[in-house]
Amino acid sequence: MSQFNDYIEVKGARVHNLKNIDVTIPREKLVVITGLSGSGKSSLAFDTIYAEGQRRYIETFSAYARQFLGNLERPDVDKIDGLSPVIAIEQKTTSKSPRSTVGTITEIYDFLRLLYARAADAYSYETGEQMVSYNDEQIKDLILESYKGKRINILSPVVRSRKGHYRELFEQIAKQGFVKVRTDGDIVDIEKGMKLDRYKTHDIEIVIDRLKIDNTENDEKRLMESINTAMYHGEDVLMVIDQDTNEPRFFSRNLMCPSSGISYPNPEPNNFSFNSPKGACSNCNGIGELYVVNPKKLVPDESLSIKNGALAPHGPQKKSWIFKQFETIAQRFDFSLNDAWKDIPEDAKQIILYGGKDKFTVESKLLGVARDYKIDFEGVANFIESQYNSDSTSLTRWAKEYMDKVECPVCEGSRLRKESLYFKVDGKSIANLVNMDVVELGVWLDGLMDRLTSKQQQISAEIIKEIRSRVQFLLDVGLTYLSLNRSSKSLSGGEAQRIRLATQIGSQLVGVLYILDEPSIGLHQRDNEKLINSLIALRDVGNSVIVVEHDKDMIERADHVIDIGPFAGKHGGEIISQGTPKELLNKTH
């Protein structure tokens, strides 16, 4: 190999306190740059080598693109040879978005979504039964088998649990040549002008055919035709009624609960994404948490009167529409704005906080006249909520002062729609998996293939392998205690750094120069050991790794150590010694 390929050569580096230094760094090795804090380690690793790598990367873009990216300033260095693409893995949290989790940044969640879309079994959230979908041929066979010798009706469901009188619908059905419908469980003839109670919810099915199942060839042909017609009018769903028992059963080309008839769309990865409308809980928009008004924060001191500012968002009395409303409410409920909040009647408190409408008349004995009053008040709590939902970030921030963050009651924090949680692999929903810590998840994955059906194995073997290896990378960097649903903004800088390291190992890039700052900070020895092994693995596949580090274990395992010495600031900035850890040890003794 040529000199060029074996080394990164830095000549005349003068960034910050670096004293015009030359340094030769072996490539495809684990190199530790050590020294006192302030000695110039980071100036060399990040502000010289990484900065120059970034600058060259941006120079590869067109002039047009560069005007948006901005040209990076060339670091103060004469030249750097042998530089490969540089990736810095620093100690900072990369995402502040509540939509970013350990699962999404490691891409493990993307593979889980794929697994669930392909291999999960769906269960009914109504009855817990497994959902089924059939093709028309299977439906025909099932009907022939289940209703042998019986009289049945075949129907097309057209309305399920919806309000309306449906007069036009009945006319339309009659025009298409059908004579009977089933409304709310009763089969009736369609009559002219027929309609239902518009304020009640109804179920309506068209009666497509009535037949006896005798298993003759003629029967089969007729049944097949009826299935086709029923599927057409019922939009891929049909209903069979046993005329003896009146028991309905649903058959669908989509996933469907055979008893209740509820159906799910055939799953796709987005049905399991809380960042997609197809998967996100609509109550919390896929955040899993909500802000709700806390009445204790609206009235932090119940001994205060409204006049003296009991209602914290509004403060003490001033001339305003809202205090006029409070006056009116006080008149209606016979209290005074000078009364302590705790002494105000409960009904009045309800209206003040949660709103209400009321009209009343007050007769003034003094003047001998009656005056009409009207209360139409939205309530302080609702007012806060509307401010929270406004487009203004400052109003939202203000409103939050009176609110608490709570788990979304609809999805129980899982962020997903109800039906998405009823798709299961090996009895577990995707929400169950992201709640596990990485160790548990690894154990579950290890035996998973054996517990799947051969069809599931076939479609998911590759996906499970991808998930398992990414989980292993997290275990390898010592992040055993994390769960995939942990939000990335709650991660410490060190945790975020190790996750980035794990994803880089997973990306299997080759020929990259990785630069890390003090990754061993805060790690127990056992985890530090794992971390060092991960860096060595990164090196062994053909990458260069430079670590800015004090840690003794890391230095001992390095291929090459560069010591910038015991002095900081203007007394530092020089290379004191470099070589293998052994060579350095010999020099100091």
**Interface ranges with Zn ion (CB under 5 A):** 281, 283-284, 408, 410-411
Residue 468's Cβ-count burial label (10 Å; 0-12, 13-18, 19+) is middle
Please, what is the end-to-end C-alpha distance for the chain in angstroms?
34
Sequential DSSP letters for 355-387: -EEEEEEEEETTTTEEEEEEEEE--HHHHHHHH
Considering beta carbons, is residue 292 or 475 the nearer one to Zn ion? Answer: 292
Radius of gyration of the chain (CA): 35
DSSP strand pairing (30-34 vs 560-563): parallel
Sequential DSSP letters for 319-365: SSHHHHHHHHHHHHHT--TTSBGGGS-HHHHHHHHH-EEEEEEEEET
The one-letter code for the residue type at 551 is D
Considering beta carbons, is residue 72 or 290 the nearer one to Zn ion? Answer: 290
Considering beta carbons, is residue 18 or 431 the nearer one to Zn ion? Answer: 431
Considering beta carbons, is residue 281 or 554 the nearer one to Zn ion? Answer: 281
CB of 444 to Zn ion, least distance (A): 25
Considering beta carbons, is residue 12 or 409 the nearer one to Zn ion? Answer: 409
Contacts of 354 (CB under 8 A, 6+ apart): 379, 381, 382
CB of 281 to Zn ion, least distance (A): 3
Instruction: Return the sign of the alpha-carbon dihedral for residues 204, 209, 212, 213.
Output: negative
CB of 421 to Zn ion, least distance (A): 11
Considering beta carbons, is residue 208 or 281 the nearer one to Zn ion? Answer: 281
User: Tokens 């005074």 label which residue?
Assistant: 336
Considering beta carbons, is residue 158 or 408 the nearer one to Zn ion? Answer: 408
CB of 407 to Zn ion, least distance (A): 8
CB of 180 to Zn ion, least distance (A): 43
Q: Considering only CA atoms, which of 413, 320, 472 is closest in space to residue 98?
A: 413
Contacts of 175 (CB under 8 A, 6+ apart): none
Considering beta carbons, is residue 287 or 348 the nearer one to Zn ion? Answer: 287
DSSP strand pairing (513-517 vs 86-89): parallel
Structure tokens at 14: 């003068």
CB of 283 to Zn ion, least distance (A): 4
CB of 354 to Zn ion, least distance (A): 23
CB of 419 to Zn ion, least distance (A): 13
At 474, give phi and psi (nearest 5°): -65, -40
CB of 430 to Zn ion, least distance (A): 15
Considering beta carbons, is residue 103 or 519 the nearer one to Zn ion? Answer: 103
State the Cα torsion 524-540-512-505 to the nearest 10°.
-50
